[in-house]
Amino acid sequence: MALTLVDTSILLDVVTDDPEWADWSIHHLDAALHNGQLAINNVIYGELSARFATIEALDAALTGTGIVVVAIPRSAAFLATRTYQRYRQAGGTRTAGLPEFIIGAHASVMGLSLLSRSVHLYREYFPNVDLICP
């Protein structure tokens, strides 16, 4: 069974009913769920929590979605920091932060598909990740 890691931007599209991206994100969430299971990690959970007043409200919003929270392996945390350092040394700005690199490294280390709209960063720094993107 395939496991697809869902980036924060996709979930925020749905939560906020983004006029430009909600339909695209819902369609691809449904397709990924049809092919397996949807997952987030604690970084994505944390980023998503900014839109909810309480942890209970966030957990209630996730209930019934088919999304599970999976742990980030230490090897992914290590890879994320090394890759982020390489990005910064190459002149990368702080607009892309360590959380994005943790998400990319998590997908890379575990061989997960990643549903995201952050195409450029993941393609450049995690080329082995199967991206589901616009």
Q: Is the pLDDT of residue 95 over 70?
A: no
Top pLDDT among 64 and 78 is at 78
Torsion sign, CA atoms 41, 123, 117, 81 = positive
- The pLDDT > 90 percentage for the chain reads 85
| Domain-wise residue ranges, the chain | 2-132
The chain-wide mean pLDDT, for the chain, equals 94
Looking at domain 2-132, what is its CATH homologous superfamily?
5'-nuclease (3.40.50.1010)
What confidence tens digit (pLDDT) does each residue in 16-75 have? 999 999 999 999 999 999 999 999 999 999 999 999 999 999 999 999 998 999 999 999
Q: Is the pLDDT of residue 88 over 70?
A: yes
For residue 94, name the pLDDT band (cuts at 50, 70, 90). Answer: low
What confidence tens digit (pLDDT) does each residue in 98-126 have? 899 999 999 999 999 999 998 888 999 99
C-alpha to C-alpha distances, 109 to 24, 26, 30, 72, 122, nearest whole angstrom: 27, 26, 24, 9, 13
H-state helical runs in 90-133 = 98-110, 119-125
Q: Are 65 and 42 spatial neighbours (Cβ–Cβ below 8 Å)?
A: no
Residue type, 61: A
